[in-house]
Structure 1
Amino acid sequence: MNKTRIWQGLFWKEAKQIIPLIGMLFAVSAFLIFIWASTSQQLNITLRAAGDIVPMIMPALFAAGAGAILISHEKETRSLRWLASLPIPTRPIVMTKLAVAFAGLIAMWLGCGLLSLVAGLDSGGVGELSEWRQIHPAFWFLHSVYVLLCGFYTAWRNKNAFPALVWIIPLALLPFLFAEIWFALPHSSSIQYTNVTQKTWVMSLVTLAAIPIIGWFAYRAGLRDLQADEPEVLPTRNTLSSADAWRPPDAPVPTAMPFRDSLASLVWQNVHGSPWMSIGLSIPLLAGAMAWLVLTNHIGTPSDWTMVLIQVSIGLALLAVSWLGVAVFAGDGSATRLKFLADRGVAPWRAWVGRHWFAVSLLSAITLLIVGIQSFLGTPQSYHSNEQPLMFEVSLFTLLAVFAIVYGVSQWTSQVVPMLAASAFLAPVLSLLALLMLSIAGVGNGVRLGWLLLITTLPFVATWWTMRDFMDGRRGWKYWSTMVVAALLFSILPSIPVWIAKSQFPGMPEERVAELLPEARRLSKGNSTNFASMRMGDLDLRDDFSSALGDVDGETAVQRFHQRDYTSPDTWMVIGNQDDIPLRADTWIIQNSLEMASLAKLRWKQNPNETSKEQFAAFVDRLTTAAQRLRLSGRWFDQEMADYVEEWLVTNLSGEAMQPLQSEPFFQRAAEQVAAFDDRQSARRRALLVSWHLDLELSEPGQWYGVSANDDWFARVPANWRAAIVQKGFGAVVDQCLQILEKQKVGGDLEPEFRALHELLGRPGGDFETGPYSDNASSAKNTLHPRRFYGYPAVSWFEPWETEGQEIWQRSQAKTQGEIETDSELNVPTEEEVQ
C-alpha cells in the first residue's frame, strides 16, 4: 500500500473531525471577546481582567477536547476498531492524530491572539485576577501543549469520554500545584516574598519537563490500544460432556413484561449505565458544597492554601453541575439508548423525566445540605467588630436558581450538540454566560424575578418539546426551528422589560418640545458661555503646593496662620470684579463663605463696633454680588445656589437685631437683591431652557454637571440602563419645573406639581414629607445650612423666604424714607433764620 496515500487519508480524516471543534471554540472566543471589549467601560476591573484571559483559556479548552474528539468519539462510534482492523500500521494513526491536534492548537492560538489584538483587550494586570493576567503567554502556550498530551493519554486509557475528560483536570493542575508546594517549602536561600515571575519560571520548567514524559506515555498508550485484542479463552472439550457440547441454549422463560419502561427502571439505567461518571460528578459537588460553607462561615483572612482550595472546589462543583446537564443527552451512549427506548414505544415525556431524575435529585440534595448546615450553624459572629465573614449567605431559592440555570443550559447544549467532547466544553461556557446575563438582568436592570424564572424554564421546555424528534434521531427543520426560536427568546426576553420601561419613562411631550425649543435656542444664543469660576483665597500654610505639609515647621506654620486674614471675604471667595460675567457656583466655597459670614454677624452682635460691622458688611456685599452674577448663568444648578445664597441673606438680615443696619448701603443692596421676585423667576426659566437645550446638543448626555441631570437623579431606575434615559428624564424634569413656574403666575396650589417632581426624581429623601419639596423639609433648615438637599432643581422655590425678602426691602425702604424725612425736618429753617 502507498504510504503517502495512507498519510494523506489519515490527515484528511482527522482534519474533518477536528475542524468543527476549532470553528466552534473560535466562534465562542470571538463572541466573548466582542462582549467584553464592547462593555469594558461598564464592567468592573475583575470582569475586565476575566475578559483579557479569554484568549489564554480557549486554546486550553481546545487542547483538552482534541483527544476526546479524535479518540473517545471514535471509540464510541467504533470507527477506531474498524480503523485498527485495516492493513495500516498503528504508528501513523497515532502520529497523525497528534500532528493534526497540534496544528489545530497553533491555529487556535493565532486566531485568539489576532482577536484580542483587534479588540484591544488589556486591563493592565489589575484587579483580583491580576496574578493570572501577569503570567507570560509563553507559559500558557506550553501548558496548552501539556494539556493536549494529557488529553490524548486519558483518551487512550479510558473507554469513554467522560472519565477521560475528568482525569485531565488533576493532571492539568499539577504544574500550579507543584509551584505552590515549592514556594511553601522552607528554602536555604533568602527568598521571603515570591512574585508572579518566579512562579511562572517554576511552572514553565515543570511543564517543559512533563511534556516529553506525558507525550511518551500518550504515544505508548495509543500503540497499545490499537493492538489486536487477545483471543477469548474458550473451555476445552474435555471439560464438557458430549451431550452438553451439542445442546442448544435454554429458551428464555416467557414473562408478562418482556420490557419495563417505568420511571424507576429508566432512572436505574441512567445511574448504572455509567456508575463511575455518577460518582465522579457527585464528589466535586459535595466538595464544592463544603467549600462554600467554609467560605461563608470563615471569619478573617484565610491562608493562601485554604483560599486556593476553596476556589478550585467551587469551580469544579459548577463544572460538575454543567456536566450533569451534559450527561442527560450526550452521556455515554445516551443517543443510542434513547433510540432503543423510542423503538419500543416509550413515551418521550417518560424518557425525558427519567434522564433528568438523578441529576435533579442530586442537585436538590446538595442544596438542602448547604441550607440545612447553614441554618444549624447560624450567622457567624466575630469577637472583633472589624472582622466580617468572607462571603454572604445565600438562600435556598438562590442556590436552586443558580443550579437551574447552569444545569438547564447545559442539558439544552447537550441535545443541540450531541457530540460529548464538544458539548462538555461548550456547555460550561454557555451556562456561565447565561448565568451572568440573567444576573445582570435581575440585579443591574431590575427585571422582576418571576420573569427571570420564566426564562429559566425555556431550556427545559425546548428539550421537552423536541424530545420525540431527538429520540427518533430526526433532527430536521422542525427541530432546528424550535431550537432557534427558543435561543432567540432566551436571549431577547431578559431585555424586553427594560425596553418597555424605557419607552414608558416620562419625557417632555413632543408638542411641548416644539413649543419650547425655539425659545431655548434663542436664549442659548443670547446666553454668555464665558463663565467665571469661584476660587478660594490663600488658606494654605505652604508657599509651594508641591511640597508636603510636613516640610513646614511648627513656628513657620503659626506665623503664616496669623498672616492669613480669615475675617476677609477675599480669603474665602474670590469672584473678580466683572459684574456682567456669569458666575459658576462652587458648593464648598459657598458653604465656607456662608459659615464665615455667620461668624462675622455673631461677632458684630456681640460687639457692635465699626470694625465688626465693616467685616460683616464686606461678607454681605460679596454674597450679594455672587447672587447677582449667579442669576446671569444659564446653568440650572447656579440658580439653585443663588437661591441658597439669597435664602441665607433673608434669614440673616431679618429680625430686630438688624434694624440698626437697615439704612446701610450694603443692607439696601442685599435687600434689593432678595426682593427681585420677578427677575428671579425669569432667571430660573432662562436657565432651565438653556440647560435643556445644551443637554440636547451634548454628544454624551449627563456629562455636564450643573447643566445635565445629576448622577443621583432617577435613583429608582436600575443602574445599568439609567444612562439611557437620563436625557429623556431631564427633559421631563425641565417640563415639570416650567409648569410650576407657569402655574405660580396664575395662582393655585403647587403641592401636586412638587409631588410629581418628587416622584420623577426618584423620591429623594424617601417619602414626600421628608423630601426636599415638602414644607417639613424647609422648616427643618437652620441658619447655618439653609438647605439639606443639593443638586435638585426647584428645592427653594416659592417658600416663605421669597415673601420675607420683599418685606425686608419694604421695611428698609420705609426706614430710609423716614430717615430722609426726619433729616429734612431737621434741616427746615426757622422764621428767625429766614429773617
Structure 2
Amino acid sequence: MNQTRVWQGLFWKETKQIVPLIGMLFAVSAFLILVWASTSRQLNITLRAAGDIVPLIMPALFAAGAGAILVSHEKETRSLRWLASLPIPTRPIVATKLVVAFSGLIAMWIGCGVLSLVAGLDSGGVGELSEWRQIHPAFWFLHSVYVLLCGFYTSWRNKNAFPALVWIIPLALLPFLFAEIWFALPHSKSIQYANVTQKTWVMSLVTLFAIPIAGWFAYRAGLKDLQADEPEKLLGRDAISSPDAWRPPEVSAPTVMPFRDSLASLVWQNVHGSPWMSIGLSVPLLAGAAAWLILTNHVGSPSNWEMVCIQIAIGLAMLAVSWLGVAVFAGDGSAARLKFLADRGVSPWRAWVGRHWFAVSLLSATALLIVGVQSILGTPVGPDAYEQPLVFEVSLFTLLLVFAVVYGVSQWTSQVVPMLAASAFLAPVLSLVALALLVNAGAGNGVRLGWLLLVVALPFISTWWTMRDFMDGRRGRKYWSVVVVSALLFSIMPSVPVWIAKSRFPAMSEERVAELLPEARRFSQGNALQFTSMRMGNLDLREDYSSVYGDIDGETAVKRFQQRDYMSPETWMVIGDQDDTPLRADTWIIQSSLEMTSLAKLQWKRDPSEQAKEELAAFVDRLTTVAKRLRLSVRWYDQEMADYVEEWLVENLSDEAMQPLQTEPFFRRAAERVGAFDDRQMARRRAFLASWYIDRELPESRQWYGVSANDNWFDHVPLEWRTSIVQQGFGAVVDQCLRILEKGKAGGDLESEFRSLHELLGRPGGDFETGPYGDNVPSAKNVGHSRRHYGFPAVSWFEPWENEGREIWQRVASQPEIEETKPAETNAPVGEPNVTVEEPNVPVEETEQ
C-alpha cells in the first residue's frame, strides 16, 4: 500500500472532523472578545479581567474537546473499528490524530491572539481575577498542550465521550494543585508571599515534566485500543459432550405489552441508559451545594486551601448543571433512542418531558436542600456583631432561576449541536454568557422579572417546538427557522424594555431646540469657559510640612491660628481682583466663608467697635463680589451657588441688628446685589443655555462639573443605561428650568413646574415635600429638611428671599449714601497678580453635603 496516500487520507479525514470544532470555538471567542471590548468602559474591573482571560481559556476548551471529537465520536459511530479493520498500520492512525489536533491548537492560539490584539483587551492585571490574568501566556500554552494529551488518553481509555470529558477535569487541575501543595509545605515558609511569578514557574515545570508522560500514555493507549480483539475461546471436548452444551437459551415469557411508552418508563430508560453519567453529574452537583452552604455560613476569612476547594466545587457544580442539559439531547445514544421512540409512535411532548424529568427533579431537589439547610442553620453571627459571612444567602427562587438559565441554554445547545464533544464545551460558555446577559438586564437595566422569565422560557419552548423534527431526524428549513428566530429573540428581548424606556424618556423637543440653539450659541461664544478658581488662604498650622499635626501642642496651634488672621476674608476666600472675570464656585470654601462672616457679625453685635465693623464689612464686600462674579459664569452650578450666597446676604441684611448699618457703603453694595432681580434671571438663563450648548456640542463636557448633568440625577433610571440618556435628560431639565424662569418672571404659579422637575430628576429626597423643591412652593408642607441640596438646579428660585432682596434695595436706595472714610479693601492680597485660569479640560470635584 502506498504510504503517502495513507497519510494523505488520514490527514484529510482528521482535518475534516476537527475543523467544525475550531470554527465553533473561534466564533464564540470572537463574539465574547468583541462584546467585552465594546463594553469595557461600562463593566467593572472584575468583569473586564474575565473578558481578558477569554483568549486564554478558549484554546484549552479546544484541547479538551479534540480527543472527544477525533476518538470518542468515532467510537460512537463505529467508524474507528472499521478503520482498524483496514490494512493500515495503527501507528499512523494514532500519530495523525495527535498531529492534526496539535495543529488545530496552534491555529486556535493564533486566532485568539489576533482577536485579542485587535480588540485591545488588557485590564492591566487588576481586579479579583488579577492572579489568573498575571500568569504568563506561555504557561497557558503549555497547559493546553498537556490538556490535549490528557484528552486523547481519556478518550482512548473510555468507550464514550462523557466519561472521557469528566476525567479530563482532575487531570487538568493537577499542575495547579501541585503548586498549592508545594507552597504549603514547610520548606516554603521562608517565602513570606508566594507571588504569581513563583507559582507560574512551579506550574510550568510540572507541566513540562507531565507533557511527555501524558503523550506517551496517550500514544500507547491509542495503539492498544486499535489492536485486534482477542479471539473467542473454543469449547473443549468435555464441554461439547456436556448436556449443558445442548441446553437452549433461557427466554423470558412473552408479555402482553412488549413496549410501554408511559412517562415512568421513559424516565427509567433515561436514567438507566447511562447510570454512570447520572451518578457522575449528581456527585459534583451535591458537592457544589455543600460548598455553597459552607461559603454562605462561613464568618471570617477562610484559608487559601478552603477557598480553593470551595471555588472548584462550585465551578464543577455549575458545569454539572450545564452537562445535565447537554445529556438531554446529546447524551450517549440519545438521538438513537429518540428515533426508536419516534418509530413506535411516542408523542414528542411525552418524550420531551421524559428526557427532562430526571435533570429537573435533581436540580429542584438540590435547590430545596440548599434553602432547607439555610433555614435550619439561620443567619450566622460572628464574634463581632458587624462581622458578616463572605457571601449572602439567596432565595429558592433565585437558585431555581440560575439553574433554569444554565440548564435551559445547555439543553437547547445540545439539540442544535447534537455532537456531545462539541456541545459539552460550547454549552457551559453560552449558558454563562446568557446568565450574565440576564443578570445585567435585571440588576443593571431594571428589566422586570416577568419579562425575564419569558426570556428564560424561550430555550425550553424552542426545544419543545422542534422536538418532533429532532426525533424524526429531520433538521430542515422549518427546524432551523425556529432555532434562528428563538436565538434572535433570546438575544434581543432583554434589551427591548430598555429601548422602549429610552424612547419614552423626556427630552427637549426638536422645535424647542431650533428655538433655543441660536441664543445658546451666542452665549457660548468667546472664552465661555475662562474663569478664576476660588482657593483657600494659608490655614495650615505647620511651619514645616515634614511634621505632622500630632507634633503641635494646643497652645502653639492656637497661636499660629491667630497669626493666620482668621478674621480676614483673604484667609478663607482668595478670588483675585479681576471683577470682570467669571468665578468658579467651590462649595466648601463658600460655606466656610459664610460661617466666618456669621462669626464676624456676632462679634460686631457683641462689641460694635469700628474694627469689628470693618471686619464685617470686608467679609460682606467679599461675598458681594463673589456673588457678582459667579453671575458671570456660564456654569449652571455657579448660579446655584450665587443664589446660596445672595440668599444668605438677604437673610442677614434683613436682620434688625444690621439696620443701623444701612447707610454704610458695604451694606448698600450688598443690597444692590440682592435686589438685581432681572439681572439674576438673565444670568440664570444665560448659564443654562450655555451649559446645554457646551454639553451638546463638546463630547468631553461630561468631565466638567457644573456644566452637564450631575451623577446623582435620574436615580430612578437603572445605572447600566443611565449614561446613554444623560444628555437628552439634561436637555429636558434645561427646558423645564427655562419654562420655570419664564413663568416665574410673569408671576405665575410654579407648583406644577417644580413638581415636574422633581419627577424628572428622579425624585431627589423622596417625596416632593422633603425634596429640594419643597420650599419653593408655599402650598407644599415643609417638614424641616436640610436647607441646601447641592448639585440640583433651581433649588432657590422664586422663593421669598428674592422679593425680600428687592425690598431691601428699594429701602436702602431711598436713603442718602454716605462716603467711605477710607478706600475699600481690594479683593486680592497685596502683590498678588490678577490671574484668569482657563481649565476647560480638568474635571472638577465639588464637595457636597
> Shift of the alpha carbon at 1:812?
2.8
1:759 aligns with 2:762: no
> Shift of the alpha carbon at 1:98?
0.9
- Name the structure 2 match of 1:624: 624
- Name the structure 2 match of 1:317: 317
> Shift of the alpha carbon at 1:573?
1.1
Q: How many correspondences in the alignment?
A: 816
Give me the whole-angstrom Cα distance separating, in 1, the residues matched to 2:617 and 2:111.
74
- Name the structure 2 match of 1:505: 505
**Runs of 5+ unmatched residues, structure 1:** 821-835
> Shift of the alpha carbon at 1:791?
0.9
- Name the structure 2 match of 1:269: 269
1:697 aligns with 2:697: yes
One-letter amino acid matched to 1:517: L
Give me the whole-angstrom Cα distance separating, in 2, the residues matched to 1:522 and 1:204.
66
One-letter amino acid matched to 1:773: Y
> Shift of the alpha carbon at 1:246?
7.0
Answer yes or no: is the 8 Å Cα contact 2:452–2:494 preserved in 1: yes
Answer yes or no: is the 8 Å Cα contact 2:770–2:782 preserved in 1: no
1:654 aligns with 2:654: yes
From the superposition, tell whether residues 403 and 234 of structure 1 become closer, same or farther in structure 2 (CA, over 3 Å): farther
Give me the whole-angstrom Cα distance separating, in 1, the residues matched to 2:539 and 2:765.
35
- Name the structure 2 match of 1:823: none
> Shift of the alpha carbon at 1:556?
8.1
- Name the structure 1 match of 2:423: 423
> Shift of the alpha carbon at 1:237?
6.7
Of 218-227 and 457-466, deviating more is 218-227
1:226 aligns with 2:226: yes
**Percent of residue pairs identical:** 80
- Name the structure 1 match of 2:531: 531
From the superposition, tell whether residues 453 and 576 of structure 1 become closer, same or farther in structure 2 (CA, over 3 Å): same
- Name the structure 1 match of 2:586: 586
From the superposition, tell whether residues 446 and 11 of structure 1 become closer, same or farther in structure 2 (CA, over 3 Å): same
- Name the structure 1 match of 2:826: none
Answer yes or no: is the 8 Å Cα contact 1:237–1:245 preserved in 2: no
Give me the whole-angstrom Cα distance separating, in 1, the residues matched to 2:281 and 2:434.
22
One-letter amino acid matched to 2:583: L
Give me the whole-angstrom Cα distance separating, in 2, the residues matched to 1:694 and 1:190.
60
- Listed as ranges, the matches of 1:38-187 within 5 Å are 38-187=38-187
Deviations 1:653-695 (A, max 9, x none): 2121111111111011101111111111111122121211222
SS in 1 for 2:791: coil
> Shift of the alpha carbon at 1:371?
0.4
> Shift of the alpha carbon at 1:252?
6.7
- Name the structure 2 match of 1:433: 433
> Shift of the alpha carbon at 1:430?
0.2
> Shift of the alpha carbon at 1:33?
1.2
Give me the whole-angstrom Cα distance separating, in 1, the residues matched to 2:558 and 2:739.
55
Answer yes or no: is the 8 Å Cα contact 2:694–2:701 preserved in 1: no
From the superposition, tell whether residues 639 and 44 of structure 1 become closer, same or farther in structure 2 (CA, over 3 Å): same
- Name the structure 1 match of 2:670: 670
- Name the structure 2 match of 1:455: 455
1:286 aligns with 2:286: yes
> Shift of the alpha carbon at 1:814?
4.5
One-letter amino acid matched to 1:810: Q
One-letter amino acid matched to 1:51: G
Give me the whole-angstrom Cα distance separating, in 1, the residues matched to 2:638 and 2:189.
66
Answer yes or no: is the 8 Å Cα contact 1:781–1:788 preserved in 2: no
Deviations 1:388-436 (A, max 9, x none): 1101110011000000000000000001111101000000000000000
Give me the whole-angstrom Cα distance separating, in 2, the residues matched to 1:551 and 1:379.
43
Answer yes or no: is the 8 Å Cα contact 1:770–1:777 preserved in 2: no
Deviations 1:293-352 (A, max 9, x none): 111111111111111111111100000000000000000011111111111111111110
Per the normalisation by structure 2, the TM-score is 0.93
- Name the structure 2 match of 1:14: 14
Give me the whole-angstrom Cα distance separating, in 1, the residues matched to 2:71 and 2:114.
29
SS in 2 for 1:125: coil
From the superposition, tell whether residues 786 and 264 of structure 1 become closer, same or farther in structure 2 (CA, over 3 Å): closer
Answer yes or no: is the 8 Å Cα contact 1:533–1:575 preserved in 2: yes
1:353 aligns with 2:353: yes
Give me the whole-angstrom Cα distance separating, in 2, the residues matched to 1:137 and 1:252.
62
Answer yes or no: is the 8 Å Cα contact 1:325–1:414 preserved in 2: yes
> Shift of the alpha carbon at 1:603?
1.2
> Shift of the alpha carbon at 1:815?
4.9
SS in 1 for 2:702: coil
Answer yes or no: is the 8 Å Cα contact 1:528–1:582 preserved in 2: no
Give me the whole-angstrom Cα distance separating, in 2, the residues matched to 1:701 and 1:255.
83
- Name the structure 1 match of 2:839: none
From the superposition, tell whether residues 598 and 155 of structure 1 become closer, same or farther in structure 2 (CA, over 3 Å): same
Give me the whole-angstrom Cα distance separating, in 1, the residues matched to 2:704 and 2:378.
49
- Name the structure 2 match of 1:686: 686
Answer yes or no: is the 8 Å Cα contact 1:644–1:786 preserved in 2: no
Give me the whole-angstrom Cα distance separating, in 2, the residues matched to 1:528 and 1:90.
82
Give me the whole-angstrom Cα distance separating, in 2, the residues matched to 1:362 and 1:781.
56
Answer yes or no: is the 8 Å Cα contact 1:769–1:777 preserved in 2: no
SS in 2 for 1:457: helix
Answer yes or no: is the 8 Å Cα contact 1:702–1:727 preserved in 2: no
**Runs of 5+ unmatched residues, structure 2:** 820-849
From the superposition, tell whether residues 679 and 327 of structure 1 become closer, same or farther in structure 2 (CA, over 3 Å): same
Per the normalisation by structure 1, the TM-score is 0.94
Answer yes or no: is the 8 Å Cα contact 1:569–1:622 preserved in 2: yes
Give me the whole-angstrom Cα distance separating, in 2, the residues matched to 1:469 and 1:646.
78
- Name the structure 2 match of 1:802: 802
- Name the structure 2 match of 1:824: none
1:484 aligns with 2:460: no
One-letter amino acid matched to 2:177: L
Give me the whole-angstrom Cα distance separating, in 2, the residues matched to 1:177 and 1:186.
16
SS in 2 for 1:391: coil
Answer yes or no: is the 8 Å Cα contact 1:781–1:787 preserved in 2: no
- Name the structure 1 match of 2:201: 201
> Shift of the alpha carbon at 1:522?
2.6
Answer yes or no: is the 8 Å Cα contact 1:462–1:486 preserved in 2: yes
- Name the structure 1 match of 2:834: none
Of 162-171 and 50-59, deviating more is 50-59
Deviations 1:429-460 (A, max 9, x none): 00000000000000110100000000000000
From the superposition, tell whether residues 359 and 786 of structure 1 become closer, same or farther in structure 2 (CA, over 3 Å): closer
Q: CA RMSD in A?
A: 2.3
Answer yes or no: is the 8 Å Cα contact 2:531–2:581 preserved in 1: yes
